[in-house]
Amino acid sequence: MTTATKPTTADRGAILKRLLVTLVCMIFFEVTGFIIQLSVLFQYGYLLVAKKRSEPLRRFTNALSLYGYRLMRFNTLNDNKRPFPFNPYPEDSECEEPAKQVLFQ
């Protein structure tokens, strides 16, 4: 399977501008990943102590996961829409619904 790549019509100034935005987005992606890791640890600690999950944290990390996904699509040149802080943060309605029941098998 071969796919031909067309040359871009953008000038080098526009490419450099997108590169700068991408560098900012890369920093946001690293911070997002760290916050998700902390949230996972907190969620499991809460689950062990309270024997139930924190729904507000689960909704927050669901939106944060979508945000990280959008950051990576923009950074890898697979999407042209700039993510937050250049556009609005994802809302709950845009996120995929989390599983109703979490299984531990």
pLDDT in tens, 25-39: 999 999 999 999 999
Locate 63 and state its tokens: 């939106």
pLDDT in tens, 35-87: 999 999 999 999 999 999 898 998 889 889 989 998 998 999 888 888 877 77
Query: Is the pLDDT reported for residue 104 higher than 80?
Result: no
Give the span between the Cα atoms of 59 and 64, in whole angstroms: 9
Q: Are 36 and 72 in contact (CB under 8 A)?
A: no
